Amino acid sequence: MTAAGGLALIALGAILRFIVTWHLGWVDVDVLGSGFMIAGAAALAFGTVMAFSRERRIARRVRSHSYEQRWYDEPPQS
């Protein structure tokens, strides 16, 4: 899940928790909203960790490659 998905879950949870006033008999909307906010915060944290981890892996991979420059007096024969 991306950071945008985590933020969307947080926003949906906040709407359910603080704005919605109707109550259903079989579900507590306040608890559902809190659950969405917690899931969104976890998704946002996980996405952030994965993004920084990916950047570090890419930077490490680029640094580890070295090349060899060869100079020929005449072109190689095939």
Angle at 60 between CA 59 and CA 61, to 5 degrees: 90
d(CA 33, CA 13): 4
Contact present, 7 and 48 (Cβ < 8 Å):
no
Separation between Cα atoms, residue 73 and residue 61, nearest integer Å: 33
The predicted-structure confidence for 7-56, as pLDDT tens digits, reads as follows 999 999 999 999 988 888 888 899 999 999 999 999 999 988 888 776 66
- Which one has a higher pLDDT value, 47 or 62? 47
Amino acid 56: pLDDT: 63
Separation of CA 26 from chain center: 33
